[in-house]
Chains A and B, each alone.
Chain A
Amino acid sequence: MHYVVHVLLVLALPPLLLGIVNRVKALFAGRRGPPVLQLYFDLAKLAQKSTVQSRTTSFVFRAGPVVALATTACAAMLVPFGAHKAPLSFGGDLLFFAYLFALGRFFTVAAALDTGSAFEGMGGAREVTFGALAEPALFFGLLVLTRLGGAVRFAVVLGPGLADHWVEAAPSLVLVAVSLFVVLLSETCRVPFDDPNTHLELTMIHEVMVLDHGGPALGMILYGAAMKLFVLAAVVVGVALPASSGNPWLDWLLFLGGMLGCTVLVGVVESIMARLKLVAVPKLLVTACLLSAVGLVLLVR
């Protein structure tokens, strides 16, 4: 039953998050902004469109969006939502989760290179570069969580036990939560790493890689990006808000509330921060890495 809810949430909710983010930004800018459901309309429209593909491209170009979406969806099946178990859970699923995104990155960048465009190559290069720096930060975070939980699986590290750890290990958990949030921002290509609505190809990361995609493929990409935000937000919420009331339905509400909070936070960050210079991005990622490393040290001393 709850697995069905889990799957439904994963399939239905992601576009909404992006709508909320945009709405928050609009409010900060003092505009009304697009409707919250705008992305749903866009996806529906894109699904109908016919596509134009460069003659340079091969099957890899079409595989990009497919793999990106598939990996994200698969990852979504691993993350417990709030107090609810994930449909798929096994020893080491944390690592599988991390490497799924790497797989998605591999094919997205490959698809970008398939077009042979210098701009998309540039974007791909940035994607893998920053991805490589985000990886250690993520793993230091996972180390902290597993050391607390005692096993390498979401069900344990984000389980009810975490609430007690918040009592004795609050400092490290705060640090980890922050660094995971930074990782979320970089993985989903939000400000301050990348600006989803910039129009200068030279400065883009994610957007420039998908320049040549159109129609249904572009739809899959947008949908996949939204789902990625959803999944990572779920992890951050799982770390930051491990509360669980006795009632399962209450737990769902709790979780949704946490997600809303996290999304709004993303929106706020985008509104109050400017996009970093590309050269400054690594510094931020290394900082995140250090944060969670410090968290680990605090834990073992």
Chain B
Amino acid sequence: MRWLIPCAIALTALSGVAGLVPARRARQGELLAVGLLVLGAALGLAGSVVGFVAPDALRIDLPWSLPGARLLVRGDALSSMFLAPLFFVAAAGAVYGLSYWPVREHPRDARGVRLYYGITVAGLATLLCAANAVLFLVGWELMALGAFMLVGTEHERAEVRGASLVYLVSTRAGTLCLFGFFALLYAVTGSLDFDLGAVPGRASATELHGLFILALGGFGLKAGLMPLHVWLPGAHANAPSHVSALMSGVLIKMGVSGLVRATAFFPSPPLWWGAALVGCGIVSGILGVAYALGQHDLKRLLAYHSVENIGIIALGLGLALVGRSLGAPALVGLGLAGALLHVWNHGLFKALLFLSAGAVVHATGTREIDALGGLGKRMPKTALAFLVGSVAICGLPPLNGFVSELLVYLGLFEAAASPDAPAWLTGALGAPALALIGALAVACFVKVYGVVFLGEPRSAKVDEAHEVDKLMTGPMAALGAACALIGLAPALVMPVLARAAHTWAPELAEEVGPVASLAWLSLANGLLLGLGLVAAAWLAWRARAAATVRDVPTWDCGYAAPTPRMQYTASSFAATLVGFFAFALRPARFRPELVGPFPQRGTLFTSLPDVVLGRLILPAFALIGPLLARLRKLTQGSVHAYLLYMLVAVVAALLGWR
């Protein structure tokens, strides 16, 4: 029993090794590898279930000879909360990878992808159940480095190289912040083990601030909170799609889990922690979706939506922190439950979206939204999967996205109704912001779904696209079903959430959250579906009764010969909304020079490069480089100068230190 999760970790870690077989046995090899990984994932899921019902059953505590280290494994409800989606999505992605990235299509790197995939999953699981800083950091870095190798899979392309370097550098920045965080924690508590609520008694104010800032830096970087998201779009866009699914669905949540764990140490955190998280959440949410609106690259767009959803999660977590500072358990329960449930939901529907996007890329060979179109007829299953994902990610009923956002909303309205200023400010800013985020998400996903799957194909390659095989549609179906299940019967997950929230804030009651109203919500969803079915049935009946003509062109207001190129493009669709946010997004427009009555043929090209990366960080690097280069004048190879430095050192030290 207690070795369930360690076994799962070992299996997943080694699964890829089975794939390292000579080319002619490659298929068997990768089947075996994926089989092992799925087996490990099954064990892990079982383990996470155990974690919910009997947390102590998973506890392992062995000595470890490294300084400050202990093999302290803990599978409490919080860990399980993150372990469950990890293993589910990982298994789905692995199966999908069998026909998305097989050795026969990618002889050079498919084995590597499978190997690093397993290692990444193992690292994720390790860090989730680790209760000692050293063990945690080992898992953390296994995850980070495995993911780095995965991002760099197609490193012959310059874009991929750039993305993987940015990813590597920023993940290291995060890891170093965590070094600082744990070191400071050790200085305060005298131990590298995570024992809840041990800190604040001994911590000074500066130490508290330092701890939170370091945690926010380290975990926020991984989570992709604005403005720490710089690595995220490139990495998600350039990794193989099932890897993007794992990264966006699970990996970035490790930042969230870290923040949840770190804040759990402090029973009464300073108020500004929650405020800061709420602020980051709102900014990430709004700007994330605004960036997504302006993207031309299907996967980059989805990546920015990860930033948005992390923002929503941060909003919920921040609300919970504010509630904890003010001693308002209702806010704590609703905010945390909403955040944690959104972790699940985003894991499911974002993985679903990336897998179906991957299917599109696999079938058409392009990620360029404005080059696609009309795929709904050619890849119906993929289209349906993407539709489900879109509705879910927009937080629309009757799917799961709405449930978690509902919980966050209820918390925010609760806060808005409270007398003290921090609380009602949180609510008054958070709720409309969340509404705006939702509406923008609708705009964005209508755009994507419409332009990619509806209308007419915009290029020949797209015209002859075909549906992908079962190994790819199967995982999508599983994820979609999970979305629908949580959406239609949210009351089922409430006990789990309550358990997790209780682990985070023991002062909370064992069952938190409006279970009753969630049951009503299921009823309302049922009513919605019923009405929809009635209306659909009536329409179908009428259509049968009266003749329906199908083979006519779209009525284009009298224009005789419409062509696919005349369809509304994604860029134009989003232009107005992007314009509203131009002050923050700085969109780039390259418009042709039109002169004379009969101007030359020209093309308009708009793009939305990332402001933080493109206008802040890269210029900073570009600035520092030459400065340091000037420093090099000190070592221009003259041995006399070298000896002079020694003389100066001697004199300075002798005069300085006696």
Contact = CB atoms under 8 A, between A and B. Distances in A.
A contacts B directly (C-beta below 8 A): yes
Interface stretch (B39-47, B265-273, B355-363, B449-457): B449-457
A91 B520 CA distance: 9
A93 B514 CA distance: 12
Give the one of A54, A100, A133, A134 with max B CB within 10 A. A54
B431 interface: yes
Given A54-B552, A90-B516, A116 B567 contact: yes
Given A53-B550, A88-B523, A116-B454, A106 B442 contact: yes
Interface string B422-461: 0010011001110110111011011101110011100000
Nearest to B568: A121
Given A99-B438, A217-B539, A121 B573 contact: yes
A132 B443 contact: yes
B550 A91 contact: no
Contacts of A169: none
Given A67-B532, A92-B514, A132-B443, A103 B450 contact: no
Nearest to B446: A109
Give the one of B391, B439, B449, B542 with max A CB within 10 A. B439
Interface string A62-103: 110111011101100110000000001111110110111011
A51 interface: yes
Contact of A54 (B416, B421, B554, B568): B554
Interface in A171-200: none
Contacts of A140: 428, 432
A142 B523 CA distance: 23
Nearest to A108: B446
A235 interface: no
Interface stretch (A24-32, A122-130, A246-254, A259-267): A122-130
- The size class of the interface chain A forms with chain B is 35 or more
Contacts of A88: 520, 523-524, 527
A58 B424 contact: no
B546 A212 contact: no
A212 B555 contact: yes
A163 interface: no
A120 to B, nearest CB: 8
Contact of A70 (B390, B438, B442, B528): B528
A248 to B, nearest CB: 24
Contacts of A47: 542
B285 to A, nearest CB: 13
Contacts of A215: 542, 546
B410 A152 contact: yes
Contacts of B552: 52-55
B69 interface: no
Interface stretch (B2-10, B395-403, B608-616): B395-403
A99 B395 contact: yes
A225 interface: no
Interface stretch (B97-105, B138-146, B201-209, B556-564): B556-564
Interface stretch (A13-21, A33-41, A143-151, A236-244): A143-151
Contacts of A268: none
Interface string B520-536: 11011001100110111
Contacts of A100: 397, 528
Nearest to A48: B546
Given A102-B394, A102-B442, A90 B521 contact: yes
A139 interface: yes
B527 A113 contact: no
B553 interface: yes
Contacts of B573: 121, 124-125
A215 B544 CA distance: 12
A99 B551 contact: no
A211 B455 contact: no
A260 B372 CA distance: 49
Contact of B450 (A51, A105, A121, A138): A121
Nearest to A65: B539
Contacts of B532: 66-67, 70
A122 B416 contact: no
Contact of A53 (B443, B447, B536, B549): B549
A245 interface: no
28 contacts: A54-B552, A55-B551, A56-B374, A63-B536, A69-B531, A74-B527, A74-B531, A78-B524, A95-B409, A95-B410, A99-B438, A102-B396, A102-B442, A105-B442, A106-B390, A106-B442, A116-B554, A117-B557, A121-B568, A125-B568, A125-B574, A128-B446, A129-B443, A135-B436, A142-B431, A143-B432, A150-B417, A216-B546
Interface of A: 47-58, 60, 62-63, 65-67, 69-71, 73-74, 77-78, 88-93, 95-96, 98-100, 102-103, 105-106, 109-110, 112-122, 124-126, 128-129, 131-136, 138-140, 142-143, 146-147, 150, 152, 201, 211-212, 215-217, 220, 282, 289, 293, 296, 300
Interface of B: 373-374, 376-377, 387, 390-391, 394-397, 402, 405-406, 409-410, 413, 416-417, 421, 424, 427-428, 431-433, 435-436, 438-440, 442-443, 445-447, 449-451, 454-456, 514, 516-517, 520-521, 523-524, 527-528, 531-532, 534-536, 538-539, 542-543, 546-557, 562, 564, 566-568, 572-577, 580
